[in-house]
């Protein structure tokens, strides 16, 4: 592809192979994360959920700007017990989806609230976007399952993001609720234990 005498057909083929390779890499990485979180936690440490959420939100600012979205945060101090790497992946998957499945001019929001009595915390990620039928919500958390083609056309991904979220939630003995927003989009709320 880099050769000066490479023709257009060779360059197009090379670009297509690179896209296919990136897609396969995403699939493998997703499958490995899913397998790791399905095994459960090897140990727990105190994790400042608000600080982790801020770090991940900062990493997604550019992506939100490219999609013409506002990325909002409401982060109160909350310490949970868990695996910081898996929790970071959980937050990244939720924010990534909130941006990816949205509409220009909309918003994605991440909120952290302390748990009752200061133990644990609640993570809430919501977004604007196309309406999500209530009956489709449980299906979105199954591996390789997404909503109809109108929602995923040109969006990339491999259909593992929310399955990984569910697996990480289970590994942390947390609870997850997902509900469509009346004006479109989705709100996902996760209660994480403090010990």
Contacts of 107 (CB under 8 A, 6+ apart): 69, 70, 71, 72, 127, 128
Domain boundaries, given as residue ranges, for the chain: 8-192
CA 139 – CA 137 distance, rounded (Å):
5
Contact yes or no for 119/125 (Cβ under 8 A): no
Whether residue 103 contacts residue 129, with contact meaning beta carbons closer than 8 Å, is answered with yes
Q: To the nearest 10°, report the CA torsion of 32, 139, 63, 24.
A: 40
* Pairwise CA distance, residues 69 & 170, whole Å: 30
Give the pLDDT confidence score for residue 153 in this predicted structure: 43
Which portions of the chain are predicted below pLDDT 50? 149-154
DSSP 80: E
Would you state the pLDDT for residue 46?
95
pLDDT score recorded for residue 150: 40
Q: Domain spanning 8-192: which CATH class is it, in words?
A: alpha beta
Instruction: Specify the pLDDT at position 42.
Output: 76
Q: What is the CA radius of gyration of the chain?
A: 18
Strands 45-48 and 70-75, how do they pair? unpaired
């Amino acid at each position: 592809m880099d050769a000066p005498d490479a023709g257009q057909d060779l360059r197009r083929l090379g670009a297509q192979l690179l896209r296919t390779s990136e897609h396969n890499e995403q699939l493998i990485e997703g499958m490995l994360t899913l397998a790791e979180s399905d095994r459960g936690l090897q140990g727990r440490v105190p994790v400042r959920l608000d600080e982790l959420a801020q770090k991940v939100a900062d990493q997604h600012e550019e992506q939100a700007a490219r999609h013409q979205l506002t990325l909002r945060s409401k982060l109160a101090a909350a310490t949970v017990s868990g695996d910081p790497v898996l929790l970071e992946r959980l937050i990244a998957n939720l924010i990534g989806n909130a941006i990816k499945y949205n509409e220009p001019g909309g918003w994605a929001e991440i909120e952290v609230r302390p748990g009752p009595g200061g133990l644990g915390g609640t993570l809430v990620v919501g977004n604007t976007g196309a309406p999500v039928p209530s009956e489709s919500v449980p299906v979105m958390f199954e591996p390789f399952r997404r909503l109809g083609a109108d929602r995923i056309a040109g969006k990339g991904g491999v259909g593992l993001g929310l399955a990984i979220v569910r697996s990480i939630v289970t590994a942390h003995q947390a609870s997850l609720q997902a509900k469509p927003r009346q004006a479109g989009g989705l709100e996902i709320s996760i209660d994480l234990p403090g010990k």
